Amino acid sequence: DGGITQSPKYLFRKEGQNVTLSCEQNLNHDAMYWYRQDPGQGLRLIYYSQIVNDFQKGDIAEGYSVSREKKESFPLTVTSAQKNPTAFYLCASSRQPINTGELFFGEGSRLTVL
């Protein structure tokens, strides 16, 4: 089945450690996105990529990094510079441009910093 796969679903990290969240899509979508969701809040954009080997910062990129070496993959690294990394992370993809169709989401990865 076509869709977006995020892993791991749950992740625990010690303070000072980097962690990488995986996102893979088989929808042949050009654009991919990472959002952060905190309890009781909406989605905030971290990074997005419209094409392979290119990506742009979103509203809250500080402390995060991404890569887009393949069309189907858009991993997110939460670095030790991110001051409050505990959150629910959502990956999404879409056809281009965004207003020709919907954004498809993965099931999310919940990161907890101990």
Binding site for other proteins (CB under 8 A): 4, 6, 31, 33, 35, 38-45, 48, 50, 58, 84, 86, 90, 92, 96-99, 102-108, 110
Both tokens of 77, joined, read 């690294």
Q: Give me the least distance between CB of 109 and other proteins, in Å please.
A: 10
The beta strands (E) that lie in the chain are given as 4-7, 10-13, 19-25, 31-37, 43-51, 54-57, 64-66, 76-78, 87-94, 104-105, 109-113
Pick 19 or 106: Cβ nearer other proteins:
106
Q: Give me the least distance between CB of 33 and other proteins, in Å please.
A: 7
Q: Give me the least distance between CB of 65 and other proteins, in Å please.
A: 18
